[in-house]
Structure 1
Amino acid sequence: MTLPEQSVYVIVPAQGPSIESDRLLLRPITDADAAALFAIRSRPEVAEMNCPKIPFKSIEETREWMATKIFTSGPSDIIGRSFNYAIVDKSIPETEERVVGSLSFNQVDPFPEIGYALHPSCWGKGYATEALQLMLKMWWNLARRTVDSEDACPAEVEKAFALCEKRNAGSSRVLEKCGFKIVGDFQEDGEDLFIFALERP
């Protein structure tokens, strides 16, 4: 199957909103988060299920990866913006590092694709599911643009997508708990991936 294509409906603000639950705060990532994100992306078990597969070796490499979250294609008002969030564990004392993960819309063109990663110490606690539900709530509440019928299939329902390795059962469960359904599969760099999709409520 080929990868999906979808018109760009969303209008991404210059500064995204923040949102929180009892346990978590999601806020836009800043440069000050680079060290915390390096502590996550330098872990081999995190790299194994993400792209690139090689653990990061420096904070500078982490900053280069952070820069890839800035949209480079799509409508002109989206270019240069991002929807990239730090997952903050509110139970950790403020004197310690509270950023335990990140999640983002990696791109909006040719389709809106979600990616996320958590520090292994937080796996199995429901944080990824909770954070993804929070981010989707923000995403669906953003303003939408009118799309010309030439750009959109008349029957097109707006969706969010995620690519997940077939062997990554934990991430597949997270997506399914958030309402995503498998709509196809895809092979990239020798890895077998599921294509997950979620319709806008």
Structure 2
Amino acid sequence: MILPKQRVYAIVPQHGPSIESERLLLRPVEDSDATALFGIRSLPEVAAMNWPKEPFKSIEQTRAWLSTKIFTAGPPDVIGRSFNYAIIDKSSPNPQRVIGYLSINQIAPYPEIGYSLHPDSWGKGIATEALQLMLKMWWALPRRKQNEDEPQPNEAEKAFALCEKINFGSHRVLEKCGFKLIGEYSYGGDALFVFALEKP
């Protein structure tokens, strides 16, 4: 399949909002989170379901990876911005600990969602709850107006996610959040499913 293309409608703020539920807090990732994120991305079981496949070797490598979350393509007003969130479990013994992250990895040629959790937090419904919270923020962002001379979109605005075919846990997370399987894709030898979610 050819990956989707979609005009970017969201106006991404310089510093995004935070959001929380009874259990979780999502706040924009900060430079000081690099150590905690290294602790996640350095684990082989996490790397196996992400790109690159090799576990991170240093905090410096983690910071370099975080810099890829900054948008370099799309409308001029989103260049240099990001939509990257740390996940904090307020119910844990260490309620300040970052246990994962989610982000809009890119917005051009299409808005693509990515996320990972520390294995200690797998199987607890945290990824599903966190993704629902992030999507709530994403859909609530103001949208840019269409100029009269621009072609009007003929499809509903969507968000997309690429997921390893063998990552059944992530399949369930996306499906619980309303994503639909729309195709398959191969990248770097990995077999991936492509999921899409329409803006409610």
Provide the TM-score with structure 2 as the length reference. 0.96
Match runs of 1:61-76 below 5 Å: 61-76=61-76
Q: Name the structure 2 match of 1:196.
A: 195
Q: Name the structure 2 match of 1:104.
A: 103
Alpha-carbon RMSD: 1.4
In the aligned structure 1, how far is the partner of 2:47 from the partner of 2:150? 36
Determine if contact 2:90/2:96 at 8 Å carries over to the other structure. no
The yes-or-no answer on 1:131 pairing with 2:130 is yes
Task: Give the letter aligned to residue 20 of structure 2.
Answer: E
Task: Give the letter aligned to residue 73 of structure 1.
Answer: A
Q: Name the structure 2 match of 1:22.
A: 22
In the aligned structure 2, how far is the partner of 1:167 from the partner of 1:152? 39
Q: Name the structure 2 match of 1:34.
A: 34
Q: Name the structure 2 match of 1:172.
A: 171
Q: Identity percentage over the alignment?
A: 68
Listed as ranges, the gaps of 5+ residues in structure 2 are none
Determine if contact 1:36/1:97 at 8 Å carries over to the other structure. no
In the aligned structure 2, how far is the partner of 1:84 from the partner of 1:199? 20
Match runs of 1:36-185 below 5 Å: 36-94=36-94, 98-148=97-147, 154-185=153-184
In the aligned structure 1, how far is the partner of 2:83 from the partner of 2:13? 9
Determine if contact 1:70/1:81 at 8 Å carries over to the other structure. yes
Deviation at 1:98, TM superposition (A): 1.1
Q: Deviations over 1:46-95 (max 9, x none)?
A: 0000011000000000000000000000000000000000000112345x
Q: Deviations over 1:104-123 (max 9, x none)?
A: 00000100000000000000
- 1:152 and 1:3, CA in 2 relative to 1: closer, same or farther beyond 3 A? farther
Point out 4+ residue stretches in structure 1 off by more than 4 angstroms.
148-153
In the aligned structure 2, how far is the partner of 1:170 from the partner of 1:151? 41
- 1:2 and 1:91, CA in 2 relative to 1: closer, same or farther beyond 3 A? same
Determine if contact 1:7/1:151 at 8 Å carries over to the other structure. no
In the aligned structure 1, how far is the partner of 2:137 from the partner of 2:66? 20
Provide the TM-score with structure 1 as the length reference. 0.96
Listed as ranges, the gaps of 5+ residues in structure 1 are none
In the aligned structure 1, how far is the partner of 2:181 from the partner of 2:77? 31
Deviation at 1:156, TM superposition (A): 1.8
Q: Deviations over 1:140-167 (max 9, x none)?
A: 0000002347765631210000000111
In the aligned structure 1, how far is the partner of 2:149 from the partner of 2:178? 30
Matched pairs, number: 200
